[in-house]
């Protein structure tokens, strides 16, 4: 059995979005599953619309998620001479021809066809032309499409597809300025790169018959095609930026882990029994292209966040600290046990690294204000007691327990004792403590916050609220 070779071939006219990354992932997994090669090609023939930044972002996206491609990146913009040579070869063999039809003539033909209720198409007027060509028109090169019969191929997702030859016209393979067309270069590059299996979005299904004609004209082997349905939004419509069709690196900025993104994408169109969690290694071992779903998948933000939190919880603390550093978090001065407590508490409360970082900043930042609504509801007696608690030696002593977790337990017990001794319900004291420590409702448990913020800073914050006047 020949080695399986797949490729991902994005156009750098915009940033790589998750639909493109899913296509790349399926190609990568199919190749790795069978011990084959996965190649990367940048389809940058549209010189006017290409973006160097977008091309670089594609490379960065692959590096971030860990999809390793084989060999060097192929850039189509560096291969124009190659494409021109193949176009001229087809002309010399009588499989393609020069067409001197001007743009005005072509548009006039289309208008006439529309008026007659005919689908606009080129009328083959230069297909067998033998006269003197116009001297004022730079010709294009068109391939000779079959005039009858059908083009068929077995799609690995959709099954057998048959297109009548009469539906195709003699399409352009080389423009008058010498630039090649999409279907022409795709077929040439896939053949020369040794691609055996093409997995791509089903919006390319209509391109496949044209590419098959190119393969046949150049006597190239035809690869196996898999056309995968697009990702839809929850309402079943085309995915928009609001739904999640953003650049891949935007997800990094939003605090998603790469393993969560890949796990989320692999389940959009493929499944293995009832398994939901897949490491990249498990994907490589279990993925089968023949099991790609033939129906469109729907983007599920809640599932994505659930997966991301799963991977945050599983993340090693050393790696997690490094990742949080990218969000402006510096924990180098935090004692190791307090840091471990911080991570254990926030892993259960954070769906993204952005949320994780925000909660740490709440603990690290100096309070500049208090939540007005919470402040208005604060029990005056509880607020006054914060000053006493800040001066209480028994309270300070609980911070010095043998470990951070034991300190949190000791503080919880002591706060109940303190409230009881002062004749106030613990339910009145705790909101005052939370406001003093964090300045707002929500966040981690009060006792964990005390330990993580530390004895000196905690006492300072309790005293500040006890003397605060609006």
Residue 37 annotated to the active site = no
Alpha helix stretches (DSSP H) within 195-332: 208-217, 248-253, 258-266, 280-286, 301-314, 317-325
Residue 39 backbone dihedrals phi, psi, to 5 degrees? -115, 155
Our CA dihedral for 62, 64, 66, 67, rounded to 10 degrees, sits at: -10
Count how many residues are written for the chain. 470
- Distance (Å, rounded) from C-alpha 256 to C-alpha 264? 11
- Distance (Å, rounded) from C-alpha 211 to C-alpha 232? 27
- Distance (Å, rounded) from C-alpha 220 to C-alpha 419? 83
- Distance (Å, rounded) from C-alpha 30 to C-alpha 24? 10
C-alpha angle 22-20-315 in degrees, rounded to nearest 5:
50
Q: Which residue is catalytic, options 241, 275, 313, 361?
A: 241
- Distance (Å, rounded) from C-alpha 433 to C-alpha 439? 9
- Distance (Å, rounded) from C-alpha 308 to C-alpha 325? 18
Alpha helix stretches (DSSP H) within 392-445: 393-398, 404-422, 426-438
Token pair belonging to 418: 């303190």
Q: Which positions are catalytic?
A: 241
């Amino acid at each position: 059995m020949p080695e399986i070779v797949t490729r991902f071939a994005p156009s750098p006219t915009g940033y790589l979005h998750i639909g493109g990354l899913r296509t790349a992932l399926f190609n990568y997994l199919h190749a790795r599953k069978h011990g084959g090669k996965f190649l990367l090609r940048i389809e940058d023939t549209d010189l006017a619309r290409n973006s160097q930044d977008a091309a670089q972002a594609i490379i960065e996206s692959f590096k971030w998620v860990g999809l390793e491609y084989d060999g060097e990146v192929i850039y189509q913009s560096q291969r124009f001479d190659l494409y021109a040579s193949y176009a001229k070869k087809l002309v010399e063999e009588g499989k393609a021809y020069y067409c001197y039809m001007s743009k005005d003539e072509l548009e006039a033909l289309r208008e006439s066809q529309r008026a007659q209720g005919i689908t606009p198409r080129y009328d083959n007027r230069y297909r067998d032309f033998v006269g003197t060509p116009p001297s004022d028109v730079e010709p294009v090169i068109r391939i000779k499409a079959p005039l009858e019969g059908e083009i068929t191929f077995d799609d690995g997702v959709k099954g057998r597809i048959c297109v009548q030859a009469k539906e195709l016209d003699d399409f352009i393979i080389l423009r008058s300025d010498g630039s090649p067309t999409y279907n022409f270069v795709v077929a040439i590059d896939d053949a020369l790169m040794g691609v055996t299996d093409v997995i791509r979005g089903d919006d390319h299904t209509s391109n496949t018959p044209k590419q098959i004609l190119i393969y046949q004209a150049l006597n190239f082997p035809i690869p196996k095609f898999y056309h995968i349905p697009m990702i839809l939004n929850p309402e079943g419509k085309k995915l928009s930026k609001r739904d999640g069709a953003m650049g891949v690196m935007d997800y990094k900025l939003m605090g998603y882990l790469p393993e969560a993104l890949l796990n989320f994408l692999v389940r959009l169109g493929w499944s293995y029994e009832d398994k939901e969690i897949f490491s990249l290694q498990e994907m490589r071992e279990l993925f089968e292209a023949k099991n790609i779903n033939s129906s469109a998948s729907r983007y599920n933000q809640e599932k994505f966040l659930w997966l991301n939190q799963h991977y945050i919880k599983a993340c090693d603390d050393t790696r997690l600290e490094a990742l949080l550093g990218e969000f402006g978090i510096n924990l180098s001065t935090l004692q190791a046990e307090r840091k471990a407590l911080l991570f254990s508490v926030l892993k259960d409360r954070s769906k993204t690294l952005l949320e994780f970082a925000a909660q740490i900043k709440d603990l690290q930042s100096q309070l500049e204000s208090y939540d007005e609504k919470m402040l208005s509801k604060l029990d005056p007696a509880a607020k006054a007691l914060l000053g006493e608690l800040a001066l209480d030696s028994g309270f300070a002593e609980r911070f010095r327990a043998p470990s951070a977790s034991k300190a949190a337990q000791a503080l919880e017990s002591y706060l109940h004792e303190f409230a009881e001794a002062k004749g106030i319900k613990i339910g009145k004291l705790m909101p005052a403590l939370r406001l003093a420590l964090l300045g707002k409702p929500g966040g981690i448990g009060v006792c964990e916050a005390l330990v993580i913020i530390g004895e000196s800073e905690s006492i300072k914050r309790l005293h500040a609220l006890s003397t605060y006047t609006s």
